[in-house]
Amino acid sequence: IKIKVTKIDVPVSVASAFEGERVRKDTMFAEFGGNKTECWELVTSGDPAEMEDHKITLIGPDIDDASFADADVVRLPLGIVVTVGGKAMQKDFETVLERRIHYFTNYIDGAMHVGQRNIAWIRLTKEAFEKGFRLKHIGEVLYAKMRSDFEKVVDKCEITIYTKAEDVKRLGEEMVKPIYAERDARMNALTDASVDEFYTCLLCQSFAPSHVCVVTPERLGLCGAVSWLDAKATKELDPLGPNQPIVKGEAVDERLGIWNSVNEVVNAASQGAVERVTLYSILEDPMTSCGCFECICGIMPEANGVIIVNREFSESSPVGMTFGELASMTGGGVQTPGFMGHGRFLIGSKKFMSAEGGLSRIVWMPKELKDDVAERLNKAVFEMTGIENFADMVCDETIATDSEAVLEFLETKNHPALAMDPIM
């Protein structure tokens, strides 16, 4: 028997109208992730026969724990596991449901959610706390929305929320990371040439009305949360939803990544705001950027290459701008030649601005990002150019951030970008 879930039992309002709400420092009561604590989220499927629907468990202290009585801000590690079960549930749907955690949490009046996977970042307001909002209510919202929005596949749903540092760390390493890695490996096996269809993603049109992501096997959505497999699964789950197939056909220009089919669909889906996009160029008709890109890539002309800055990095970059400053000129659904929002996973894709020379153009990245992507990046650059350990040639903030010192470093490393055709 399917039970229809409509009412959500929480002390604050829950509606898509609250989606764009930011929680600033002065109104913030509690914070999870955002570089301060570990924070991850996972949707996994379970055997319905062994599940108890609507079971919501908090393991560890809540935000009203006595130990926080004197704290300015409550900071806790957080791990959220959503287990879903149902006859029609498929493993490929997990990531699609997982991405919705971002939207569902943002629907809560008094909550902000940024990022995904193990770079999730959540803030709760003082007002929500005073109204009685507690961590289990995040579970209530996720439960209700998973059941109602995915009623075709979710018959049972359990939520477990972990806030003890040792649990969040251990499960993050032993359970969560291997699942992320397995998903990435499946995706790595696919190429743009090996499929007949790309997909649109229009989810971000709610706040960037002319923005369209074109999701291909080698170019995931710029939020980092929608891979080609996810888009394909979403189309199955929600046939009229945000991911629609683009039947590829012949390329007009393989190098730049121009397809008439893509242009037609983007033009229509952006209501004429964007007439042409290339999939592989940062200079010629680059794809638009909404606001939730994980990284921004921008040209550093004097190095004949590009720098990449990720959202978590708050310092200035060698182009003289922080992530926030770069984001304000790149976002909003407009095309900004020379700048491009993208997902972390794109760093390691052979299609990463391949029209301008690709991955070997990368001259600078924050160290954390560089370490995170090094393995895939090194492998891809080696396969494309024969250069080993490319990540070692890429400068970072622990080496240099000012333009001259970056150039000096690139020269000592004999960075390949210095010998490539002028980028502009």
Binding site for Zn ion (CB under 5 A): 204, 290, 292
DSSP 3-state of 24: coil
Q: Which tokens sit at 126?
A: 């003082």
DSSP letter string, 227-270: -HHHHHHHHHH-TTSS--EEE--SEEETTTTEEHHHHHHHHHHT
In the bound state with ligand SF4, the residue whose beta carbon lies nearer, of 31 and 94, is: 94
Binders in 176-235 for ligand SF4, by CB under 6 A: 201, 203-204, 213, 215, 221-223, 225-226
Which residues, including other chains, have CB under 8 Å from residue 109's CB and lie 6 or more apart?
12, 13, 14, 15, 18, 21, 128
In the bound state with Zn ion, the residue whose beta carbon lies nearer, of 14 and 292, is: 292
Residue with tokens 């960075």: 415
Please give the DSSP secondary-structure letter assigned to residue 182: H
Q: Are 368 and 309 in contact (CB under 8 A)?
A: no
Pairing of strands 78-85, 39-45: parallel
Binders in 99-118 for ligand SF4, by CB under 6 A: none
Least Å distance, CB 201 to ligand SF4, is: 3
226 binds, among ligand SF4, Zn ion, none (CB under 5 to 8 A by kind): ligand SF4
Interatomic CA distance for residues 17 and 207, integer angstroms: 11
In the bound state with Zn ion, the residue whose beta carbon lies nearer, of 206 and 403, is: 206
Residue with tokens 């983007």: 266
221 binds, among Zn ion, ligand SF4, none (CB under 5 to 8 A by kind): ligand SF4
Q: Measure Cα distances from 54 to 93, 94, 157 in Å.
A: 20, 18, 6
144 binds, among Zn ion, ligand SF4, none (CB under 5 to 8 A by kind): none
128 binds, among ligand SF4, Zn ion, none (CB under 5 to 8 A by kind): none
In the bound state with Zn ion, the residue whose beta carbon lies nearer, of 41 and 397, is: 41
In the bound state with ligand SF4, the residue whose beta carbon lies nearer, of 80 and 201, is: 201
Which residues, including other chains, have CB under 8 Å from residue 271's CB and lie 6 or more apart?
209, 210
Residue with tokens 């210095």: 418
Count interface residues toward ligand SF4 (CB under 6 A): 12
In the bound state with Zn ion, the residue whose beta carbon lies nearer, of 290 and 406, is: 290
Least Å distance, CB 291 to ligand SF4, is: 8
359 binds, among ligand SF4, Zn ion, none (CB under 5 to 8 A by kind): none
Least Å distance, CB 188 to Zn ion, is: 23
Q: Which tokens sit at 408?
A: 């000096």
In the bound state with ligand SF4, the residue whose beta carbon lies nearer, of 43 and 222, is: 222
Least Å distance, CB 239 to ligand SF4, is: 17
Q: Which tokens sit at 401?
A: 């951030």
In the bound state with Zn ion, the residue whose beta carbon lies nearer, of 203 and 258, is: 203
Least Å distance, CB 400 to Zn ion, is: 32
Least Å distance, CB 30 to ligand SF4, is: 25
Interatomic CA distance for residues 117 and 115, integer angstroms: 7
274 binds, among Zn ion, ligand SF4, none (CB under 5 to 8 A by kind): none
Q: Which tokens sit at 64?
A: 């009203």
User: Per-residue contact track with ligand SF4, 262 to 291, x per CB under 6 A?
Assistant: ----------------------------x-
Angle between helices 228-237 and 177-188 (to 10 degrees): 100
Binding site for ligand SF4 (CB under 6 A): 201, 203-204, 213, 215, 221-223, 225-226, 290, 292
